[in-house]
Each structure stands twice: as C-alpha cells, then as structure tokens.
Chains A and B, each alone.
Chain A
Amino acid sequence: MNNPVLITRKLKIGYGEHILFEELDLKLEKGKLVCFMGPNGIGKSSLIRTLAGLQKPLSGKIEIQSSDEIHKHLSVVLTDRVVGSNMTTRELVATGRLPYLNWAAQLHDADKAIIDDAVEKMRLASLLDKDINELSDGQLQMTMIARALAQDTPVMLMDEPTAHLDLNNRLEIMNILLKLTRLMNKAVLVSTHELDLALQTADEIWLAGGNKNILTGIPEDLVLSGVFDEIFRFKGFDLRTGKVQHEIRHSIIIKVAGEGHDLLWTKNALERNGFAVADEHASHTVKIRNSTGKMQWLVDDTVLLNSIKEVLDHFAESVKSL
C-alpha cells in the first residue's frame, strides 16, 4: 500500500545545545507530495539538510530504503545561491548526472537522454543555450529542479523552491512537482510557507509547531483541527472559509443576485470595501445582468451601472448621504 523510502526514528536535530526538533518519527512515501510548513526560522532548512545527509543529526536515525549510495537515492534543491558564469542552462542541468560519471566527467548517451527528459519535464527547451546569469529567478529555479531531476533519485527534497517567485511561477512549479509524484512515482518533500498553495496541492502536510515537534496529516484534517490557526496566528484570515476577513465598516446590508464569477467578484469588491453582503435584512439589492456578453449591474432596481467600480462609488455616495 505505502512505500516508505525515507524514515526517521527519534530524530533530533539542531546545533549543539540549540535543539530545533526532537523525537521526529517521519516518513516519506513514493508517489506523494509532502509540503513542509512552519513559521520562518523554525528550522525547516536544517531538517532538509539533515535528511539529505548534509548535516549530522544530534541523535536518532534516518533510514534510507535503498542499497544505493545516498546521492543516487536523494537529490536536493536548496536555497543556496548558485552563481556561475560561462555556463549554459543545459550544462547546469547536466551537473545532476555527476554521481553516475567516471572520473573524467564524460556524459554518455544514456546520461544525455535523462538530461533531455528533465529539460522537457521542466519546459526549459527554449532556454538551453542561455547563459545561466541571464535567467530570471523563476527560470533558474526551474533549472535547479531539472538538475535534481537529472540526478534521477526516488526522493527529492526541496527547500523553498517557490520563494521570491510570482504567483504564476509558484503555481507552475507546484503543479510540476505534483506531476512528478504522479507520473514518476517520486517522493517529493517541499518546504514552503505559502499556505494556499500547499493546502491545494499537498498529499500530506508536515507542520512544524512550537514544541520542537512536527505534526503530520492530510491538509483538510489539519485545517479542521485548527492547528494551523494556533501556529500561524492568522490576522484577519479565516482558514476554514479560505477567505480574508474584512471588517464591516458600513451599516447597510446589500443583497447581491447573480451567478458564477460575476457574483463572486462583485461580492468580493463590496466586502473588501467594508459593506456587509447578505440575503436577509438587506436594505439594498444589486442584480447582475450578463445577457449579451455585456455586464451590467442594476442597483435597487432603479440605477443601471456598467462596472463594479461604479457600484462601489454609488454605495459610497449613499453611505455619505446617510
């Protein structure tokens, strides 16, 4: 049923007297995307480095379910800045083959095929001959993931791969990582502090809490148990509804009638501006018309407006005159 590829037993990590985590019994399974979450500075990077064998644990064990050497079993994408000149995207991806090469570092046809495959999966084909200094942050991150992919390991550990990227790049990377678990049966661990993305893509969440322990579970269970609220101490964000809470600043209640996205965004605009939106006890109504492809908003069955901005302006005026 499940295929654990990495197991920790009573793992304790940190630096000397300074303990970050202890009593960790975690496991990574094939074909699963695990998001590792927690506030900044809690030790996410240290745990990833420890799992990767780059840092010694204080005590406990990390069991690798493989007879291979660790660098053929596990690859990493770290936050370490990579700067190199005179190097193309392709050459950087190719460094992932290093564990398999002889002393002269010569690539064979089989290596090249694996590199090509990694390049294709990360959609880097158009950037292959570009100098890595010319890549954008997002492109460089995709290249580093392709490099880890070229290392051809069942386990991939990634430290904040979506940090400093825009929403589009973040989504793309998370989707690709999810695909890797589904298509290539890889075990992927991603540390991130982006809650929305993690909740929507992860098979499992590791949540680093305050007591030097890590809670694990599927996203939905963790959300409903309320542990996220405890750890992140949200300010104005309701995780259960997935929405930002807006303070109601105006006394009027508006009933909005409409469908789909039109309704969603109209409500969003009104709530964002401090109006209460509800069906009962409403003092005003907004009806959204979208018949001929042209959207219009009918306010209180009398005023016809052409944009949400005009609706907002209208209510702002009526509030002022109260």
Chain B
Amino acid sequence: MEFSARKRWIVLPLLLVTLFVINISLGSVLIPFGTVLSILTGNQGTNPIWFDIIWDFRMTKALTCVLAGASLSIGGLLMQTLFRNALAGPDVLGLSSGASLAVSLIFMSQVTGLQLISSPSPWTIVIAASIGCGLVFVIVLAISSRLNDNTSLLIIGLMIGATASSIVSVLEYLSKAEDQQSFLLWTFGSLGGLNWNELLVLTVALAIAMLLSFTLTKPLNVWFMGENYSRSMGVNTKRSRVFIILAASLLTGAVTAFCGPIAFVGLAVPHLTRLLIKTNNHRVLIPAVTVAGAALMLFCDIVAQLPGSSYVLPINAITALIGAPVVISIIVRAKRISV
C-alpha cells in the first residue's frame, strides 16, 4: 500500500521535467530541439538571438508557469482543507476579485483623483493584490465562522466577488481608455513578460508560504474532523486559521498580481493530485500538489502557445477549458463531496 503510493509519487516530478523541456522548446520562433538542449546546458551556440530567446523569454516564462502553478495549487489545497469544501478555491471565494479590485485601483486611480501612485511598479501591484486578496479572505472567514455551512459560504464568496467586480466596472467606466486596456490585459492572465527580478518576488512569496504550509501540517491533517476534535488533540485552531489564511492570501495575491487572475488551477490541481495519490496527509499532499500544479500550468501554457503557430491564447481561457471538465467530473462522480 505504502510502496505503491511512493511509486506513484515518481510520476509527478518526471512529468514536470518533461513538460518543462517541451515548454521551452516550443514558441513562435522555431528552434531545433537539439539546439534548445545545447543552449540549456550553457552553450552559446550558433545563433546568439536564440540564446536570448531561450534564456530571457522562454526560461522566465516556463519558470513563471512553475511558480504560478505551484502557488495557486497550494492556495487551493489550503482553502479546500480550511473550508472543508471540495469546490473552494482562490477564484470561487472571490479572492481573485479582491485582488482585481485592488490592482484596478492602482491602474485606474488617476481618474478618481486619488492617484495612489504615479506609475505602477511590480512591487506596488504585488502589495495591492495581496492586500485586496487578504481583505476578501478575512471577510469570507469572518462570515464563515458564524455560518458553519459550506454552501452558504460559497454563495457569499460569489457575492463578494460580484460586488468587487461591479466596483471594478464603475472604475472602468470612469477611467481613460489606455488605463482600461492595461487592466483588461492583466485580467486575461499572462505568464510571459516577467523579468528575473519579478520572478524572484514570486519565488520568495512561494517559499515563505510553502514553509508556512509545512509548519501547518498537523492542523491541516485533522482539520476535516472539525474544530472540537482538532482542539481536543491540542491544535490551536484560531492561530492555525490565521496562518492558513496568511499563506493562501500570499500565494494567491502574488500570482494574481504578476500573472492576473488565473482561474481553475487552484481548484482543479488538488483533486487531480488526489486521483493519483489517495491521501489526506498534507505532508505528502503539499509537495505533490506543488509539483502537479507546476506541471499542469506548463501544460496549459504549451496549449496556449498553439504549437505550430505564432498566436498565443490568453492563459485564462486554457485553464478554464481544462479546469471546468475536472470540476464537472468531481460533482458527477462523487455523490458526496468532501475534501
């Protein structure tokens, strides 16, 4: 039993490496596979432009996929465990909408006369998105502590999301076309265009949140039994709840800031992972979900590139195309839904 579970583990890293290499070798410029490999090993090669394409465009994009996919998936796992709801995720609970509202305030604040900042920098967007995300999560959590009912909670999350979206609409209506456009492009989601500095921000956010998640293994493992049982086993549920919120907000906020509100990955990956590794042990689940999320995002990005063409589709369209069937299958397959 334990052995087969360990054997299955190996599938994930292998998948990740394979998809990473495929992701890097595909793009609007055709570079022979052998050359890609030799450039990856540090070889300047025959064409210096190819070297730049691989290292400054494709490599940063592939790493963004890895970081964003991993972050969103851990975020999704944390929230599904926290709310004991299989359909919880950053986007479902209105977290992304909160981040969108905060970022739209940054982009379009000029019109309202507030002018929070003169030119949006990656750091200010990260901070704004994290704050927006965290605020929504705190609101959802405050309500959830009174309700104890998962369905109502999801509806409330959707309502908060709708409220945030409508405020964004008002801002859009009032703002200038060019501000609108930069915001609209942000909402499509994008995995390219990050430089090494911005990647570092994402990496730090992911590293802190992952570390935090690992220290939460014990509470996460018994969270499904409810507050009374958890506390009877010495878990400080209040403190753990705050840290889970903190980790999830950091993960979702950072990714949403740099890559836009990417849907479905956070929701779908934990379920896909559990199909492969049937466990509730978060000591296994957290690393597994991290790797699986990175792999799925690389795969989505490969599809978004439309191999063989120079068009790149918005990443959000692809993640939803892959995520929606997963969600439907979960509902159809499981007669009782649980995390």
Enumerate chain A interface residues (CB-CB to B < 8 A): 49, 52-54, 69-72, 74-76, 78, 80, 82-87, 91, 95-96, 98-99, 101, 103-106, 129, 133, 151
Chain B residues with Cβ below 8 Å from A99 are 233-234
**Which of A69, A80, A82, A98 touches B221 (beta carbons < 8 Å)?**
A98
Residues of A with C-beta under 8 A to B1? 129
Asked, given contacts A82-B226, A101-B218, A106-B283, whether A133 binds B336 with beta carbons under 8 Å apart, the answer is: yes
Count chain B residues whose beta carbon lies closer than 8 angstroms to a beta carbon of A.
29
Given contacts A82-B229, A103-B215, 16 further A-B contacts (CB under 8 A): A69-B234, A70-B234, A72-B234, A76-B229, A82-B224, A83-B84, A85-B339, A86-B279, A87-B224, A95-B222, A95-B225, A98-B222, A99-B234, A103-B218, A104-B217, A105-B282
Interface on B for A, CB 8 Å cutoff? 1, 84, 214-215, 217-218, 221-222, 224-226, 228-229, 231-235, 274, 278-283, 334, 336, 338-339
Give every chain B residue within 8 A of A104 (Cβ-Cβ): 214, 217, 283
Interface class of chain A by DSSP: loop
**Nearest chain A CB to B58 CB, angstrom units:** 36
Choose from B233, B279, B283 the contact partner of A96 (Cβ within 8 Å): B233
CA distance A76 to B222 in the complex (A): 14
Given contacts A105-B218, A129-B1, contact A78 B280 (CB under 8 A): no
- Cβ contacts under 8 Å, B224 to chain A: 82-84, 87
> A103 vs B281: C-alpha distance in the bound complex, in angstroms?
13
Q: Which residues of A contact B280 (CB under 8 A)?
A: 84-87, 91
Q: Closest residue to B84 on the A side, CB-wise?
A: A83
Measured in the bound complex, the distance between the Cα atoms of B217 and A91 in whole Å is: 14
Q: B336 and A80: CB pair below 8 A?
A: no
Contact B279 A91 (CB under 8 A): yes
Shortest Cβ gap from B151 to chain A (Å): 14
Interface CB pairs A-B, < 8 A, 11: A76-B229, A78-B228, A78-B232, A82-B226, A83-B338, A86-B274, A95-B221, A98-B218, A99-B233, A104-B214, A105-B217
Question: Residue of B at shortest CB range from A129?
Answer: B1
Asked if A52 and B232 sit within 8 Å, CB to CB, the answer is yes
Instruction: State the CA gap A117–B183 with chains docked (Å).
Output: 61
Please measure, in the bound complex, the distance between the C-alpha atom of A103 and the C-alpha atom of B211, giving whole angstroms: 12
Complex Cα distance A69/B338, Å?
A: 32
Decide if B218 touches A71 in the complex (CB within 8 Å).
Answer: no
* Docked CA distance A54–B225 (Å): 14
Q: Output the nearest chain A residue to B214 by Cβ-Cβ distance.
A: A104
Would A78 and B229 count as touching, CB distance under 8 A?
yes
Instruction: Closest B residue to A99 by CB, please name it.
Output: B234
